[in-house]
Amino acid sequence: MGIFDKLKDVNEMRKQAKAMEALLAQEQITGQSAGGKIKITIDGNQTVLSVEVDPAVAGDKGEVARNIRAALEDLFKRHKKVLQSKFGNILSQ
């Protein structure tokens, strides 16, 4: 394989990566803590789109922190499922 063939492969991989990025940008994933006190929404590229805080927990820093942690854990689980459903065959290779 010559250098020009390798460059073509690199360019093809870049195109595929851009296409995957565009596809993921269309996804919206929301994770939430128990009771929905904190909700965090990202796109498939992990760009944070919104953070919602229930006014009932806004004054208690400890509860806010616990709920943010729970919402993030839920969010990352959901994000992983989206990735597996979209690209499972690619990721399993």
Query: Long-range contacts: 5-12, Cβ < 8 Å, 24+?
Result: none
> CATH number of the domain that 10 lies in?
3.30.1310.10
CA distance 88 to 92: 6
Q: Which domain holds residue 35?
A: 3-91
Domain count, the chain: 1
| Residues counted in the chain | 93
**Model-level pTM?**
0.69
Whether residue 93 is predicted with pLDDT greater than 70 in this model: the reply is no
Contact between 78 and 29 under an 8 Å Cβ cutoff? The reply is: yes
Q: What is the pLDDT of residues 33-65, one digit of tens each?
A: 988 999 999 998 888 999 998 888 888 888 888
